[in-house]
Chains A and B, each alone.
Chain A
Amino acid sequence: MERISLRALITALLLAVVLITVVHTVISQYQFRRAALDYRADSISRVIEVAALEALRQARSHAITLGGSVQKRLQLHAPDVLRTQLNAPFSKGYVEAGYLDLVALRAYDAELHLLDMDGQRHIPPLPETVMQRLAQRQGVERLKTLGELWHTTDAPLYSVLVPIGGLHVEGYLEVVFNPLFNLLNVGDMIRMPLGIHDHRRAELLHPAGIDERAPNHAAMEYALRGVDDAVVLYLVAYADVDMLYADMRRIQFITALSFFVLTLAVLTLAFWLLNRHLFQPVQHLIGQMEHVLHDENNALVTQRGIQEVHAVAASFNAMATRVREIIQELRRISAQDGLTGIANRRSFNQALEREWLRAMRQGTPLSVLLIDIDHFKQYNDRYGHQAGDECLQHIASALNLAVQRPTDVVARYGGEEFVILLPETDAAGAAAVARRMQNVVATLALPHASSATGIVSMSIGVCAITPSRGQPAQNLIACADLALYRAKAAGRNRVEVAQASDWAALDSAAT
């Protein structure tokens, strides 16, 4: 299975971070724009509110002045005169009337019963809540002017109620005017195209210069509320958003650019640092580890990179060293004979194969001495197995000490059999070594009551050959075995050298 690499993983993560920031920036750009537009709409709505309320305040002020002038002359108890007096602002030139779009004048008595009116006769009575509020007023409050914005089914109205009779309230005069007239110049006040809609959103004033195809203008609305908090008029200002958008785009561009540059710089730095201190050391470590695995020498990996990589390398080195020690120990143990400490049969066979090939290559003779301790079974029976083991140990160390060349191999071949490999040694040399061995063991003078000599002796079969191609190395052992057999047969405690007949026997057996 293909495994993902650390570098690929981190690169993917960094790319994901970049992608997320880009997506976030793009999304936030839209949200930012919407928020800015909302904020703009909110602040413009406030501006419209202030301007509209100021226009209404001025109109109300004119209405109060007009009402104050008219009420002085009103004769509430003379119906004929009252009619004429109420008509005066419409028919005569009152200064304040020029600032208002007068709809009607209505006179009430102190108990708020309608006495008479002039102007548009079809306008409905004041909303019930206003009448109740008027009726509930007490004391000085009754003298104060009341102004309310309200609407009929088809027109907005503003009513101002001024007391008649100065400070001694005889009744009330209601000045009703259409506030639309005063609101027309709100657009001039706020310096924006202004549209006005009534409570059913029917257009009353069309904004100058704004048509259906004015995409660069955003409508910002303010709902003008009157009696009972009901919307009487919608004032809609059209703000040129091109400049707003241009400003925003510039700010966003700068913000985004600086953000990207910063992110890129940070990511580049992060990648560089990671590459230098993590990826490369890890890659290097992996390469060296592979090398160490196949390397017989005591090579170790270089410790570099960040703390963790360094620690991994150190651990690997410690482990490699420990494993090498264990391998050496195991190798030593596997090549040794457990009892005598000299080479074992397996190790001997390896040496034999090696030397066989070498001798074949170099055309030199190779000799093997196969040694058998005489009457060892009886020795064991008589002296016990522990003594038998000790005897073997003595002989093994004696044999091991008796060979002179480092290439000679002394090994334990089986129970009481030893074998000695002598490279570059012919039959005569090998026989000499065999006799020397016999002497060495004789010198030990290990007592053996069951032996004819009274001491431990050995029979030795010697075989020497210059190997040729196609011959198995084990033939050398078999040949020495034949010689040993003859030595035993001839009465033991003697050296017997293999003859050409032995080889012939072996060859015929092989074929």
Chain B
Amino acid sequence: MRSLAGLLLLCLALPAIADKPLAPQTIPGAVTVDAERAVLLIQATPHLVIVDSRLSEEHAKGHIPGAINLLDTEMTEAALSRIAPDRDTPLLFYCNGERCLRSNNAAAHAVAWGYRTIYWFRGGWQEWLHKELPIAR
């Protein structure tokens, strides 16, 4: 009976295994935003640092205007401090989309390093493109 239930669980889990995992809905200590809220945030916050956690090639093809490229795996506390010295500096992280875990990872690190105002644009580049918002290159 237990093995049967296990088999059932496996069957249910299979599609999830087949796809890349989804990023979590929220990150503790960070505010999740969508494209519209991100735009309003950018327009209203002059000192906002937008961190593009994707690869540099991806960044070069197009990015949110004003974003700084910093790959999550290369983002040490020191590297982040160079672009955001003050722990009160608002940060906005994004990467490719909801199946991309880089920005999630980066935002979590920023929370751990003591940054206090962190926004996470979960929909990322895919949502930005889909809504045909202005892009920079």
Contact = CB atoms under 8 A, between A and B. Distances in A.
Contacts of B131: 144
Interface residues of B, number: 17
Contacts of A239: none
Interface residues of A, number: 15
Contact of B136 (A64, A72, A139, A145): A72
Nearest to B50: A167
A148 to B, nearest CB: 13
Nearest to B42: A167
A163 B134 contact: yes
B134 A162 contact: yes
A140 interface: yes
Given A166-B65, A167-B65, A167-B66, A144 B133 contact: yes
Contacts of A145: 132-134
Interface string A126-163: 00000000000001100111000000000000000011
B36 A166 contact: no
Nearest to A71: B134
Interface string B25-69: 000000000011001101100000000000000000010111000
Contacts, number: 41
- Prevailing SS type, chain B contact patch: loop
Which of B35, B42, B43, B66 counts the most chain A CB atoms within 10 A? Answer: B43
A68 interface: yes
B66 A166 contact: yes
A69 interface: yes
B79 interface: no
B27 to A, nearest CB: 23
Contacts of A72: 136-137
B133 A69 contact: no
A171 to B, nearest CB: 12
B91 to A, nearest CB: 17
A86 to B, nearest CB: 18
Contact of B133 (A71, A143, A168): A143
Contacts of A64: 132
Nearest to B36: A140
20 contacts: A68-B62, A68-B134, A68-B135, A68-B136, A68-B137, A69-B137, A72-B137, A139-B36, A139-B40, A140-B35, A140-B39, A140-B40, A143-B134, A162-B134, A166-B65, A166-B134, A167-B39, A167-B42, A167-B134, A168-B43
Interface of A: 64, 68-69, 71-72, 139-140, 143-145, 162-163, 166-168
